[in-house]
Amino acid sequence: MPKETLDSVIDSIEVESIGEGPPPPIPEPPFGPDDDDDGDFMDSQMNNAYVGMVLFIGAEVMLFAGLIGAFLLFRFGSAVWPPPFQPRLPVFVTGINTAILLLSGYTMHQALRAIQSRNYQQLANKLLITACLGLTFLVIQGYEWVRLIRFGLTPSSGVYGSTFYVLIGTHGTHVLGAVIWLLILLFRVRRRTNSPDRLYFMTRHYIGVKICGMYWYFVVALWPVLYTLVYLS
């Protein structure tokens, strides 16, 4: 055998024996190097948003505590309440409206469960139902207000009318703001549902849904207190 052929055979045997050549592929870890950082970022953002919303709700509680305190001061400081020749408030219709708003709190709870389970369609449906229930509550309240004004109960008709419209109107403004927030979230969910970056929505907009849920719970829980004090007392 020629020397050159023998040398090539020996070289190939040595290469196979020492394992030269391309290294075997290294399996990738189940999570990328940035996933931990992204999780820490999300936790930090969630904590900041949660603390901010808690502080905001605390300020709102103090606002309504002041309004309720003023109402109770006039209420128990008057010999007759409601004053004579003033229309009575629609207790029965508002009671049904209270049930509608309480139901919206349950549908909001279902929306939060849907986003936790990454169920986009159910999330969109529950947000839509919650927004519709909130709008129904506002429409019924507005209709009753129009009737009360026609019957003579206006903001300028004395302490009874002014305290009623300020207290109930302030809550209605908060419900309207919460409904607008829900509709914005619903629009973004609908837009993201069929997009390729669905995971981006779930990781980046999860905070918005959770914080909106906290605010919605606040306006829902506040209403039975107002209904009992203003309509039933």
In a domain, 38, yes or no: no
**pLDDT value at position 103?**
97
* Cβ–Cβ < 8 Å for 161, 142: no
**pLDDT value at position 198?**
53
The model's pLDDT over 67-119, given as tens digits with 9 standing for 90+, comes to 999 999 998 888 888 888 888 899 999 999 999 999 999 999 999 999 888 88
**pLDDT value at position 10?**
45
Residue 146 to residues 27, 90, 140, 143, 159, Cα–Cα distance (Å):
69, 12, 10, 5, 19
The model's pLDDT over 207-222, given as tens digits with 9 standing for 90+, comes to 888 999 999 999 999 9
In a domain, 46, yes or no: no
Q: Which residue range forms the structural domain that includes residue 178?
A: 56-231
In a domain, 1, yes or no: no
CATH number of the domain within which 134 lies: 1.20.120.80
In a domain, 17, yes or no: no
In a domain, 28, yes or no: no
In a domain, 209, yes or no: yes
* Distance, CA of 68 to chain centre: 25
Report how many domains make up the chain.
1
What is the average pLDDT score of the chain? 81
Q: Tokens 């900041």: give the residue.
A: 48
The pLDDT confidence band at residue 42, using thresholds 50, 70 and 90, is low
In a domain, 41, yes or no: no
* Residue 29, Ramachandran bin (φ over 0: left; ψ between -120 and 50: alpha; else beta): beta
In a domain, 50, yes or no: no
